[in-house]
Structure 1
């Protein structure tokens, strides 16, 4: 028997349509009806304001910060260098990116099993920018009722002014978003100067325009459509829910039957529940659902309906919490468990991945030496009668400064390098160096001998690299 909470889609206008006859095709996608979200204040809205301020502050500020003359965060694609908080990573560190993505996935699964879609409600970029755009709309066009009245009113100078001001503000925010995003790939100070002096390349203009338009459309026009139709999380979230998952829920046992009444009238006196059917929970919902219809995949867990309902309950002198974060078990009067096998599983995997990434970064060597033996010729004799083997040494310098390495080889008596023994490798460079090694015939007893190449930095004496290889000679 499945323990998942059933998630359902609620048709806002149930019942068979007069125009839909039996056998006719039914459209699966309904054209968008504009949602007028009412502004509400409360505990959860204050939490979102804090998270929104922190996230937006980090996004717009970090692109300007530098550390030792290097941008704090800079993805230098042409140079294939990725600078993060003073550390430089290269394409060969791609495994770290994979690990980070896995950590994000397990973190999302872990949080979802505990608290549902809190990611969507408080930290998702779509939510963050949408709430900013809604705040701008509220400041310029007025309250929900005023916006509805404005949209229904005929064209006028006031309507044109307010609409123009709103869209101009949206475009400015979208432009700042696009500039900042591209600034993480193209140093922001150079980007702004180059853009407005027409010195930037075409790709810079393209990507700034792309992210400006995408932000403007997603946060200004599409809004909940992104969550309902474009975001895959809305579709697979239910597989991570169970009766112990804490989600935004309406308490029907307490609220039903719903109905209006005067302030101060006890529900028992009129044979009704605590819900006065004011509709405030619907008016504040950014996706336009009625939480009283049960858990729906459109719910992003923003808790605006909780703040709105608590405000009404306070005015009616009723206890708060008619709509609240709760679990299916608690609504049914059962005991709810915070930790359960699924949560432990996600938590353990999350902890293991975080530990693996930390160990990988902590033990990451800032330089690397690889040796490839020339397989085209096993060995040869030179003019001095010594046996030669050819190799290609590859030295990668992942430090922030150039390194000068001294090369040496050991493992056989009187073994030496005939080619260049000192090489300078620039920061971020991966240099290949053809190398020839020879030994006297009397130094080898076997046809296949183990040797060790060493590269010691004269710039940083603590940086010493070793790699094993094989030296091939004739059978004695």
Structure 2
């Protein structure tokens, strides 16, 4: 027991630095070989990612009332979401949705750091999917390193080819599913594989397949560390009470290897902390950082280093949590304040904007009316001496079912309606209705009379809807 254990005192440094500051040419990016890890956080992250992957793959295939349940048809300028149809006039809903999503992201980041990046970001999910194929075909981390160092032979060629085939298959399937949100997915799959999809659908499928392949297969952590803007502005939302993945330096330093059978108290007497310097936390990190160097913008809070370190602590019979989700305040010996002004402010705004979004959806009418006056003549006099104005009504049925409407004129006494006063509009369609309104000149006191057109559903309709739009009746 009197054996002296070597102690390593480490000064935290930035692991991402050029090889030499004396030259303008920096060394090229070193490939990161991510080691597989097991643990509760990894299990949760995998099932969480698989759940959203399944949603992404299944939603385009869902059918509702005889049509694709989710179809963002840009060509027709119509978004179909189950029983809801959104038109360009409804873009305010999209703005509210973006605002709600932004404040939800701000709230979650202030509370738990970049958990969006580690658990829900599509980039992270697809990178782990591609890495899974890589590991199954080429082997574990050490085997992949040796395989890349080995000269090309039949085995290496077969493994690399099989990996590329799987990567491209996933990428093309991803491109097809993504484009399937914007065009009928069943026809897209059939036409794509029969080479009958047309230029633009094929172009976008190939475009998104190449992006998926490049991002998840090769760029990987570069997207998180250099391209994604979220990694840059996230620090504005952090404070001392934000929960992030962090290393407890007070407990772990000084670090160094030691026999597993040596008691923890004996190790501490010799000035050694709980960190055995196994570097597993670095090997499992998808961005290749050393969490022991402190908070770094490259960290995506995936928790892989937490599982790796807890596994080592369990084998050493040490308490878990050397690396854990904690706050800077807690690491300094204080108590984390969950309820604080910034977090409460984000929550209040989030709830307020969510309420506005829900209220707009609840108050939304499944009907829109646009009135266009005849621009060729302000008015005309009929053979029987009446003053006539000509209009064109655009009646949009925003629902997905056929509806029957009645057109009425308000504010004009003793008028004659010339045209179809009762109109049937199919679900999701726009009807163009040319009409004329005539009245005796004695009923007109001013050159311009303010009138209104009221379009309402017939009494037999299940859900009565009425919309009134202003217009003008001109004379002289």
* Equivalent residue, structure 2, for 1:184: 181
The residue number in structure 2 matching 1:466 is: 468
CA distance in 2, matches of 1:209, 1:448: 58
Asked whether the 8 Å contact 1:330–1:336 carries over to 2, the reply is yes
Is residue 307 of structure 2 the alignment partner of residue 307 of structure 1? yes
Further displaced range: 94-103 or 442-451 = 442-451
Alpha-carbon contact 2:456-2:465 (below 8 Å) kept: yes
TM superposition shift of 1:463: 3.2
Greater displacement, 298-307 / 403-412: 403-412
Q: Residues 99-126 of structure 1, C-alpha deviation per residue, up to 9 Å, x if partnerless?
A: 1111111111111000000000000000
Counterparts of 1:94-243 in structure 2, within 5 Å, are: 94-243=91-240
* CA spacing shift, 1:9–1:277, aligned 2, 3 Å: closer
Partner of 2:443: 443
Contact between 1:248 and 1:303, CA under 8 Å: does it hold in 2?
yes
SS at match of 1:371: strand
Give the equivalent residue in structure 1 for 2:3: none
Aligned to 1:415: 415
Q: For residue 4 of structure 1, what is the aligned residue in structure 2? A: none
Q: The residue matched to 1:417 in structure 2 has which SS? A: strand
| TM-score with structure 1 setting the length | 0.91
- Structure 1, unpaired ranges of 5+: 1-7
CA contact (8 A) 2:83 2:400 kept: no
Instruction: Determine whether 1:10 maps to 2:34.
Output: no
Give the corresponding residue for 1:403.
Answer: 403
CA distance, structure 2, for counterparts of residue 311 and residue 473 of structure 1: 87
Q: What's the offset of the Cα at 1:473?
A: 4.5
Return 286-295 or 168-177, whichever deviates more. 168-177
Q: CA RMSD in A?
A: 2.2
Match status 1:290 vs 2:290? yes
Give me the whole-angstrom Cα distance separating, in 1, the residues matched to 2:70 and 2:429: 20
Residue deviations 1:305-362 (CA, integer Å, cap 9, x gap): 0000000111111100000001110011112111211112211221111111111111
* Structure 2: runs of 5+ lacking an equivalent: 1-11
Q: Quick one: which of 249, 258, 283 aligns to 1:252?
A: 249
Once the two structures are TM-superposed, the CA of residue 193 in structure 1 deviates from its matched residue by 1.3
| Whole-angstrom CA distance in 1 between matches of 2:311 and 2:82 | 44
Distance in structure 2 (CA, Å) of the matches to 1:12 and 1:201: 46
- Given that residues 172 and 205 in structure 2 are in contact (C-alpha distance below 8 angstroms), is that contact kept between their aligned partners in structure 1? yes
Contact 2:13–2:293 (Cα < 8 Å) also in 1: no
Q: Do structure 1's residue 364 and structure 2's residue 364 form an aligned pair?
A: yes
- Cα offset for 1:379? 4.5
CA distance in 2, matches of 1:167, 1:123: 25
Contact 1:264 1:317 in 2 (8 A): no
- Cα distance in 2, alignment partners of residues 198 and 147 from structure 1: 37
3-state SS, counterpart of residue 471 of structure 1: strand
The alpha carbon displacement at 1:472 in A equals 4.1
SS at match of 1:221: helix
The aligned length equals 460
In structure 2, C-alpha distance between the alignment counterparts of 1:182 and 1:373, rounded to whole Å: 40
Q: Indicate the residue corresponding to 2:346 in structure 1.
A: 346
Distance in 2 (alpha carbons) for counterparts of 1:76 and 1:460: 28
- Does the 8 Å CA contact 2:367/2:398 hold for their aligned counterparts? yes
**Structure 1 residues 316-325 or 189-198, which shifts more?**
189-198
Matched-pair contact (CA < 8 Å) for 2:394–2:432: yes
Distance 1:277 1:9 in 2: 16
Asked whether the equivalents of residues 9 and 297 of structure 1 are also in contact (C-alpha less than 8 Å), the reply is: no
1:44–1:307 contact (8 Å) kept in structure 2: yes
- Aligned in 2, Cα 1:38/1:378: closer, same or farther, shift over 3 Å? same
* Corresponding residue of 2:276: 276
How many Å apart are 1:445 and its aligned residue?
A: 4.1
Offset from partner CA, 1:380-429 (integer Å, 9 cap, x none): 44332223333332211212234343322133331222233233434333
Aligned ranges 1:18-57 → 2 under 5 Å: 20-21=21-22, 25=24, 27=26, 30-57=27-54
SS of alignment partner, residue 61 of structure 2: coil
Q: Report the equivalent of 2:387.
A: 387
The Cα shift of 1:45 comes to 0.3
Deviations 1:182-217 (CA, angstroms, capped at 9, x unpaired):
111222211121122222111121111111111111
Report the Cα offset of residue 25 of structure 1.
3.6
Q: CA deviation at 1:431?
A: 3.7
- Alignment partners' CA distance in 2, 1:429 and 1:443: 37
Segment drifting more, 408-417 vs 184-193: 408-417
Work out the CA distance in 2 between the residues paired with 1:247 and 1:111: 11
CA offsets 1:53-83 (integer angstroms, 9 cap, x no match): 1111101111111111111211122222211
Q: In the aligned structure 1, how far is the partner of 2:202 from the partner of 2:373?
A: 47
